[in-house]
Structure 1
Amino acid sequence: MGIRIQHVSKHFGRFAALDDVNLDVHQGELLALLGPSGSGKTTLLRVIAGLEHADAGALWLGSEDASTLSVQARRVGFVFQHYALFRHLTVADNIAFGQRVRPRRERWPEPRIQARVRELLSLVQLEGLEKRYPAQLSGGQRQRVALARALAIEPRVLLLDEPFGALDAQVRRDLRRWLRELHDRTGLTTVFVTHDQEEALELADRVAILNRGRIEQVATPADAYDRPASPFVYSFVGAVNRVPAQARDGQVQAAGLALPAPDGRASGPIELFVRPEDLELAAPSTGWSATVTALQRSGARLRLRARLQGEDSEVEVELPASQADALPEVGRPVWLHPRRYGVFPVAQWPGGGT
């Protein structure tokens, strides 16, 4: 089922954790709530689950107004970052727990519960481990048990709060691929919280980017990266260089270079945002004049830092390693041209663009 969040606000004292949030989660999609610490993403997830109650607004699960429903009545599966498994229960008993503690009139017969456990052990690829205890499992295995336990109650919605945050990098990558495959097999409407941009862009059908209790943009991963709706999104989703500029008469003047204004309407002081991979080496006098300050090899890519002539700040450039022989040494001049960029009025950036 889908989820509809309408004008939801939540305060903790004077702090606005959520400020008039509106969001539709489509049936069967995997949506990421992405943002820095304190942006409101976990609070929003807990409001959906019923673990927090909103001060204002409405929440719909499918066609049902869930604003006043209890956690149990909402039938959501919740997976925590630190597993929250019962150490004294086996893997099988952890998975079965949600069914066994239901009221008697709602509880499944024991043979059906055991069949569901076997089905989920196969689904999360933990067959043969049903008699082990959490302490006898790896972190990745414990997270799979937590996910199986959330699925055991046949939830209407699956919610995951930083599900891979306690795992090392390689396990995180493996589990991301596995979770995407699992989602495609189950088709369950899923919302997961993360501050990891790579995780959100790789996993999600759409991304909702939060900042200071508000949603800045809801978009596909490609649109969030390629067409950011605000300076915050540009800066948070991926690396970016910011260059002070002036816009007038359909042009952008940035570090001595005239460029077309993307929308043709910008005027006055602005900032130009350009990603490192969208800066390319240019012929002399056809781009920004800069001086190389650092060079670093990072896998198949080269990272170059350069100081623009007449500017106090440096820019970072990401290039294929195959261009290494064509790069000047540190301290030598280089010309850079922005292949793709965005511009925003300085007033849109907190602090006046500093």
Structure 2
Amino acid sequence: MDADFQLGRPARGARIVVAMSGGVDSSVVAALAARTGAEVIGVTLQLYDQGVAVERAKSCCAGRDIHDARAVAERIGIAHHVFDYESRFRTSVIDRFADDYARGRTPVPCISCNQGVKFTDLLRFARDLGADCLATGHYVRRVATTDGPQLHRAADPARDQSYFLFATTREQLEFLRFPLGHLPKDRVRDIAREIRLPVAAKPDSQDICFVPDGDYARVVEKVRPDAVRPGEIVDRAGKVLGRHRGLIHFTVGQRRGLEIGGQPEPLYVLRLEPESQRVVVGPKRALAVRAARLSGVNWLGEDQREGLAAKVRSLARPAPARFDGERLLFESPEYGVAPGQAAVLYEGTRVLGGGWIEETVAAELETA
């Protein structure tokens, strides 16, 4: 199977840079690029010390992944380079992640990584090489139109990664290519087996790359040890129900780990108050949100206000909403909305843009 990289000129004589993480997806992209006849250069970012990261079998960009990316490049006969971005990744992604958690927010580090290390630094490198495009293994679709390229959700909804790419700029989208966006994951695996890639059976990464065991609090405690301070767990009226070991152990919507008994109904984390180190809890109905104020809004499409659908979590279904220029207003109450998350705006399958959630308005308080 061949992929259309939309190079705008004959492939022979063109140059494609492929971001290779060492996983099956980016490896297949590199193989498809090589089939076009263009000169292909694979680039892998080292985001950790290899001696330590090699033990993190499920994390991306670790020592094993660098080895796998190099093996794939040798198998398909393309050049391969590894660049040390450990310091850059720590300051722009890991430190930001820890700081957000310490402030009681719910960060999405994969978006920060795409905004900075991948779609800024790596894209700049590809341009410096004189490449015609930078191709990645993301499951999204780039649709060319007479008004410029559009970003759309992947054909396979179970694999769609458009939520993580809302901050992509129009200029970046002109240069980026996503050859897997129209394929189901099973077909990508089949291609890898057909061309005998050494990573064909490699498991997918399931976690944030620098939190392979899912223990976010441990990472925050290591990066920001002074952020771990005990405090009170209170109800909405301020009544003390218990104590906690630190805000970093909680996120909005969480039920487990509160260790509060004797209540008439289950309690959930409603909000975190870093100034007082308080965890405010309440019934599930109090989690319903009618509106959210956004910052850092990025538009890939037109500045549209009506007829939108919004996703506030990567696995959530888009919910009908409208945008008044600052606030996102949901047609029906939405759950699981928290400061620090991204709200991504869609029109059908097209990604119009999105922004960062700064604060929310509870449905029971919203009268307009």
> Whose radius of gyration is greater, 1 or 2?
1
Q: Whose strand fraction is larger, Structure 1's or Structure 2's?
A: 1
- Per the TM superposition, whether the score is higher than 0.5 is no
TM-score, normalised with respect to structure 2: 0.28
